[in-house]
A and B are shown apart, each in its own frame.
Chain A
Amino acid sequence: MKNFKSILGYTWAVAALIIAPATFFGLDYFSRVLAEATGVTVNPWYTGGEIIKSIDHGSYRTLLHRPVFDSLIGQKKKGFIQINWEPAAGLPPIIREGFDFNNDHEEDFHLTLNTKTGKVELQAVNAAILPEAKAYSLRNGWAVRISLQRQP
């Protein structure tokens, strides 16, 4: 048993000699394998969540994300919805657009975004929309996040 433990110990110690360079030489490969095997993504509170609608306007496009209420278990009472416009080079000075995020064929809110100043105006129609909208200048366009409250 002592010999067996010794052999195991030395085997692992020698394996460490291989693990160290392999970790660096195979970093890209192992990272890809790990990401694909786990299917893990960045939390929607940072990314804005999955895109549910893409509208092409010719020189630019609008990307509507899903409403984010995610919590560890269940849903939070307060969340947000994110809209992106890209690419930056194709954006008009003023964007005016209405959105239906719950697919009831009625406009839920209307946004006006000044792409030069970042000033954003929100007209809420749906009761879930809270009067809080913030614009973010991104490398490839603009994003706006609008606060939402969960409806019963």
Chain B
Amino acid sequence: MNINKSAAAPVNNKPGLFKTLLLCLPMMTVTLLMLSHGQRPEEPALLIAFVLTFAFINTIFFFMIYTGETDRWRSILFIVYSFCFILSFITNLIEVRGSMAISEANMIEGLTPFCHIVIPMTLIPLAITKTIIFPGTIIGANASIAGMFVLWIGTSLALGRGFCSWFCFFGGMDEGFSRLFRKARIKNIDRKWTYLPYALLLVIVLASAAALAPFYCEWLCPFKTVTEYQEITSIKTALQAMIFVSLFIALVMILPALTERRIQCGLFCPFGAFQSWTNKINVFDVRIDPAKCIKCYKCVQICPSFSLSEDTIAKGKTATTCMKCGKCIDACKQHAIVYHIKGTPLNEGKVEIARRLFIYPAFIFLATMAGGVVQDAIVKIIKLVTTGSMI
């Protein structure tokens, strides 16, 4: 690794108030356009939701720039985004379909919103049969298949597995529960478990190709509990619902709370395992400066995706599973861990430039995805307060 120790500029140098405001202007412009779609909201509830969301998102970004801390502020928006997503998604489903349950008739009509977790399961059938094994709509509908593929390609090119900390609408649930307690109740987790998502990925990809049906969605997705699930009409569908709820309680609620890690994302999610490979081609990574590292291994203990170990620290970089959340960077008192652009020297003077070049696109993804659902959730809450119903 090329480390330029001669550079004198301190890491995480904080800009002043005026410079911070200047640096926030581009984000304010982009979020204004994204949230308003170029039009001033007419209805009072929409206007209130727009103003609150715009202010909230840009306050988060302001502090991200002003304090030089990334994860501390990202996680607030990420968690709010995820819980607003549940509220928005479920109420929209009930408005459109009348229920969270999806019937076989809904599937025939292609009324199932497409989710990024299905993507790895679709690839083999797509290559061989030129069809998508999912009961959704290719284009035109809300959460269409082509639309989700475009979002996935864009995010992967820009962020790699940063997708899991800056885009995924499920990740914030896991993260929210992982921050419930101040101290982890379970500290030692055998690193062998980190192979589980890869094994699961292999099994679900092969099983889905053989059955021409998305195996993970049908049997293993914990997030079905808070989004949609197949209508319970048989022992099979009842069993599936029981598995979804059990996995949600265990992997998204209890284990993250006890371990302070994103257990579902780091040790179970097959899409996360699949997405790790995009880190190989993405330009941003997280590096550790061995010269500054005092081997306290605090970063190893707190990494939510199990991407740091003594071995990886010795090599000066994270494992490919790194979600680029920035938690280790914020936690390292020695400023030994930094965002980095591949191919460039790990020069202290360029550390903040690399960080900003990463957080601008990353925050645009998070702000745009979060903005829509946070606005919608606020509108639903205003509706509940004023009319007694969210629908």
Contact = CB atoms under 8 A, between A and B. Distances in A.
Given A31-B146, A42-B134, A71-B212, A8 B343 contact: yes
24 contacts: A5-B342, A9-B341, A10-B341, A13-B283, A13-B357, A16-B157, A16-B158, A16-B159, A17-B357, A17-B361, A21-B30, A22-B154, A23-B365, A27-B150, A30-B150, A32-B146, A34-B149, A35-B138, A40-B131, A40-B146, A41-B132, A46-B133, A71-B212, A73-B128
B150 A31 contact: yes
Interface of B: 2, 30, 34, 103-105, 107-110, 124-126, 128-139, 144-147, 149-151, 153-155, 157-159, 209-210, 212-213, 283-284, 341-345, 354, 357-358, 360-362, 364-365, 368
Nearest to A12: B283
A100 interface: no
A115 to B, nearest CB: 14
Given A45-B212, A72-B210, A19 B130 contact: no
Interface of A: 2, 5-6, 8-10, 12-14, 16-17, 19-24, 27-28, 30-32, 34-35, 38-48, 70-73, 82, 134, 136-139, 143
Nearest to B365: A20
Contacts of B105: 136-138, 143
Contact of A40 (B103, B128, B130, B361): B130
A27 B99 CA distance: 28
B161 to A, nearest CB: 14
B97 to A, nearest CB: 10
Contacts of A16: 157-159, 283-284, 357-358, 361
A34 B157 contact: no
Contacts of A21: 30, 34, 364
A43 B209 CA distance: 12
Contacts of B146: 31-32, 34-35, 40
Contacts of A38: 130
Contacts of B358: 13, 16
Contacts of B136: 42
B283 A72 contact: no
B368 A10 contact: no
A10 B128 contact: no
B154 A19 contact: yes
The 4 A-B residue pairs whose C-beta atoms are closest, nearest first, are A23-B154, A9-B343, A5-B343, A20-B361
Given A17-B360, A35-B146, A6 B131 contact: no
Contacts of A138: 105, 108-109
B341 A42 contact: no
Contact of A20 (B126, B128, B158, B212): B158
